[in-house]
Amino acid sequence: FISLDCGLAPSEASPYIEPDTGLWFSSDSDFIQSGKIGKIDPSLPKTIKSYVTLRYFPDGIRNCYNLSVKQGTNYLMRFTALYGNYDGLNITPMFDLYVGPNFWVTIDLENKISGQSEEIIYIPRSNSLDLCLIKTGATTPMVSSVELRPLANDIYITESGSLKSFKRYYLTSSDTILSYPNDVKDRIWETKFDPEWMQISTALEANNSNGFLVPQNVLKTAAIPANDTAPFNITEELDFPDDQIYLYLHFSEVQALPIGDFREFDIFWNGQQFDKTIRPEYLKTTTIKSTTPVTCKGGVCNLELIRTTNSILPPLLNAIELYTVVKFPQVETNENDVVAILKIKAQYGLNRITWQGDPCVPQKFLWDGLNCNSTDTSTPPIITYLNLSSNGLEGTIAAAIQNLTHLEKLDLSNNNLTGEVPEFLANMKSLMLINLSKNNLIGLIPQALLDREKEGLQLIVDGEHRCLSGSCVTEKKIPVKTVAFVSSATVMVIIVLLVLIFAFKKKKSSSSKALPLSSIKLGENVTSTNISEISIEMKRRKFTYSEVMKITKNLARPLGEGGFGVVYHGDINGSQQVAVKLLSQSSTQGYKEFKAEVELLLRVHHINLVSLVGYCDERGHLALIYEYMSNGDLKHHLSGKHDSSVLKWSTRLQIAIDAALGLEYLHIGCRPPMVHRDVKSTNILLGEGFTAKLADFGLSRSFQLGGEYHVSTVVAGTPGYLDPECYRTGRLAELSDVYSFGVVLLEIITNQDVVDQTREKSHIAEWTAFMLNRGDIAGIMDPNLHGDYNSHSAWRVLELAMLCANPSSEKRPNMFQVVIELKECLTCEMSMKGNGQDMDSQSSPKVSISYDTKDLPSAR
């Protein structure tokens, strides 16, 4: 048995023997990491057990007990909460209970002076069991006791789901409630008796060895109808009319009948015969039970025992148990992943209040710093992302990390980790990004990890690429002769190289002409790379102005106009369509932005960034030649104007993912990392099949690795999309792009203008927060969608957009987290449609968060 007296301090005589039952109870302090201790008002009347202390949870939404159990064992679990006005407020709490990731029952203590006790019969899927209290409103969850009792595995069997206790009573005129030690499994048997019944009993003990181990005091008494010719009736009304029921009836003949006399009757449940005709045996237990769940029409259940025509005596019943079926569809996170993350938690002392219960599910309680693949409730979720950046971690890199075998990205940056980089990281085949920067690691990076980098792994470390500190350079004594020989050979090699270089320069000097672009110093924090060399390497071309005119057929077909100038359609040799952007004389952007965009696009390569075909820099004529994106920009398609079709919700999600992947590459994949600075819907271009790519990098800036992750800069960008924090401080960082992307997400969701002075709240983020506080997501979604979206995916994207557009950069996710969440939202959307579930947006969940609009940015 596990018997926890919640709130009992370990120093207060723990464990102790509970006087009414004789069971050992102990403090709950070793089974939970959160909560505070309270004591009930001593003036209140005592209950079944003399509860004195309790544990309450004013902090966090989910607080969980973690109990060691045996996988596959049948357990009776009992939860008891007695408010007892412990806080002097006389406000009874209401909250939910979860078993692992699944809802069990709501605890509502209003008008329950003696408290509320709930039981469930449950078979754990692993050797660890989480029992979680979930805050659902303004009141504070609390608990008085938690009890677990193992049962035999061959009783209380269901087709599916678990059994929640509804009624368990024995039929007697006594008022004695039975539990342990009368019931060796500590089931609680209440009493029930009706005036239309008559009690019969015996002093002798019955044979109760049929597995259910019904207490002897239960089997010694029985009820029969007072009118022995009348049926025996019991009626119960369910709390929820649609509940499925499992029924257990216990019979034992308590009267020694003369030879030839017998008691025989039929059992009817809601008018239908429930089982075969029964003749209870003298002092021997017979249990009749459901093998499949039964229902009650209108929630009213009627049990009727009717004597047969051959029976000498009326029907008899000793006890009845009724259980409702509770479905627990969501399986727990992969057990190996849970064990691994708990070891990591223990090694680094990560006692976060959010790191309780199942790490991955439900999604709304996902542990901070984790992302999981959890698309199917019947498949154990797996951990794919672990972000412990800036958590003050000390010691070495935890060996348990290697047991997260499906991990795709690992971020341990900005901590105090020491020791060497372990080679096991190279064996984690799913890993695509490892960030170990800003730690105190030493030694060589394992060669196996460097080999993985050639295969696409992004490895971010401090110092030289192979060596994290000077400690990995070992000094060796070298013979003098060897030194002399090596020195002589080195001198000879240098002389030969100088001669060759001189000869090569002399040969090339007459024909070599520098490009104007390459003679200009690079902009702020941009890596210095010779453009002509990049052009040769990447097979880029520098075009003349006459070639530009030929490509565009003398600027015959304008595609649009931006801050840089007009964009024209063109084609090269009739085979490659391009978009040509010409710098206009009135443009607010100039040569600096032109040069920055060319330099950036020549060194970044990603499927979700518009690629540069070439450029023109000739006598004041500046032009950029891009790949052609046939479907224009995102803003154009959201508007539904100009004969463009309205984008479906799933298409919008995929566009958002594509754009987010492009930004993620700039922030993480580039070295040094890049900030776009002008993320907006008109800079997200759409190609065939609506593949999205980011464009317009004229305002971009880069950051040096190993230095600060922000720079001071003149505020630039588009009104409405500007990060208000950057606007106030002039400090630019990757999270400035995240803010702008959040505004784009809000455009995708709402199809509202970013700034609209005619609205009560002019900025789109302010307006969305205002609408959210009214609690109706349908009023926020683009009406052109006509409700054709899954409300759950829409709600998740909306929450993500509001996180991204948070005025405080500290509260925004990074782009990697944004990509993960958007992918899960798209998977949710597609799986819901694949399962044919209702797409009606009116079924959206109630809003449980409120947004303070005063903290949101105003329009500029």
Q: For residue 513, how many C-alpha atoms fall within 13 Å in the half-sphere facing its CB? A: 2
Pairing assessment for the beta strands 458-460 and 701-702 based on DSSP bridges: unpaired
What is the distance between the alpha carbons of residues 653 and 650, in angstroms, rounded to a whole number? 5
Res 82 pLDDT > 70:
yes
20 is catalytic: no
Ranking 295-299, 439-443, 572-576 by mean pLDDT, the lowest is 572-576
How large is the C-alpha radius of gyration of the chain? 36
Give me the pLDDT at residue 836, please. 52
Convert 261-272 to b/e letters by CB count within 10 Å (16 or more is b).
eebbbbbbbbee
Architecture of the domain spanning 519-627: 2-Layer Sandwich (3.30)
Average pLDDT over residues 415-441: 93
If one compares 737 and 47, the residue with the highest pLDDT of the two is 737
pLDDT of residue 382: 95
Q: What is the mean pLDDT of residues 178-182?
A: 93
Q: How confident is the model at residue 622 (pLDDT cuts 50, 70, 90)?
A: confident
Q: Is the CB of residue 570 less than 8 Å from the CB of residue 551?
A: yes
Contact 82, 113 (CB under 8 A): no
pLDDT-based confidence at residue 530 (cuts at 50, 70, 90):
very low
Averaged over 421-440, what is the pLDDT?
A: 93
Which among 231, 211, 174 is positioned nearest to 285, based on CA atoms? 211
Phi, psi dihedrals of residue 760, rounded to the nearest 5°? -60, -40
Which one from 243, 358, 633, 678 is the annotated catalytic residue? 678
Residue 107 exposed, middle or buried by CB count within 10 Å (0-12, 13-18, 19+)? buried
Coil, helix or strand for 86? coil
Here the tokens at position 493 are: 């090699």
For 226-255, what is each residue's pLDDT tens digit? 998 899 999 999 999 999 999 999 999 999
Q: How does residue 802 score in pLDDT terms, banded at 50, 70 and 90?
A: very high
pLDDT at 17: 87
Owner of token pair 């966090």 = 60
Going through 436-546 in order, the beta strands assigned E by DSSP cover 458-460, 541-543
Q: Averaged over 807-822, what is the pLDDT?
A: 90
Average pLDDT over residues 77-92: 94
Give the CATH fold of the 2-151 domain.
Answer: Jelly Rolls (2.60.120)
pLDDT in tens, 714-729: 456 788 888 888 767 6
Who contacts 313 (Cβ-Cβ below 8 Å, separation ≥6)? 224, 228, 255, 257, 261, 262, 263, 307
Distances (CA, A) of 56 to 147, 368, 371, 824: 17, 23, 29, 34
- Domain 164-326 fold is Jelly Rolls (2.60.120)
Q: Mapping DSSP to helix (H, G, I), strand (E, B) and coil, where does residue 177 land?
A: coil
The residue type of 738 is V
Residues 6+ apart with CB under 8 A from 477: none
User: Is 581 flagged in the annotation as binding?
Assistant: yes
Q: Specify the higher pLDDT residue, 12 or 258.
A: 258
Report the pLDDT averaged over residues 780-806: 89
Domain ranges of the chain: 2-151, 164-326, 335-471, 519-627, 634-855
Q: CA-to-CA distance for 401 and 408, rounded, in angstroms?
A: 12
In sequence order, which residues have a C-beta less than 8 Å from that of residue 719 and are 6 or more positions away? 755, 859, 860
In contact, 156 and 293? CB cutoff 8 Å: no
pLDDT class of 454 with cuts at 50, 70, 90: confident
Give mean pLDDT, residues 450-454.
87
Which one, of 774, 797, 791, lies nearest residue 847 by Cα? 774
Closest to 551 (Cα-Cα) out of 628, 609, 619: 628
Do 164-326 and 2-151 fall under one CATH topology? yes
Confidence of residue 699 (pLDDT cuts 50, 70, 90): low
Using 50, 70 and 90 to split pLDDT, how confident is the model at 507?
very low
More confident of the two residues 702 and 556: 556
Residue 529: pLDDT above 80? no
Is omega for the bond preceding 314 within 30 degrees of 0, making it cis? no
Of 354, 330, 342, 328, the residue nearest 135 (C-alpha): 354
Residue 499, pLDDT above cutoff 70: no
Candidates 418, 470, 472; CA nearest to 445 is 472
For residue 573, the one-letter residue type is N
Say what the pLDDT of residue 505 is: 52
335-471 belongs to CATH 3.80.10.10:
yes
* H/E segment holding residue 740: helix 734-750
Q: What is the mean pLDDT of residues 308-323?
A: 95
Q: Which residue has the higher pLDDT, 770 or 338?
A: 338
The whole-number average pLDDT for the span 530-546 is 58
Phi and psi for 772 in degrees, rounded to 5?
-60, -40
- State the Cα–Cα distance between residues 818 and 668, nearest whole angstrom: 13
- Confidence band for 22, pLDDT divided at 50, 70 and 90: confident
- The residue among 809 and 842 whose pLDDT is bigger is 809
CA 233 centroid distance within chain: 50
* CATH number assigned to the domain covering 634-855: 1.10.510.10
Please, are residues 197 and 226 in contact by the beta-carbon 8 Å criterion? yes
Q: What is the pLDDT of residues 582-591, one digit of tens each?
A: 876 555 556 7
Nearest 5°: the CA angle 637, 641, 647 is: 30
CA pair distance 7, 220, nearest whole angstrom: 39
Residue 167: which pLDDT band, with cuts at 50, 70 and 90?
very high
Burial (Cβ within 10 Å: 0-12, 13-18, ≥19) of residue 567: buried
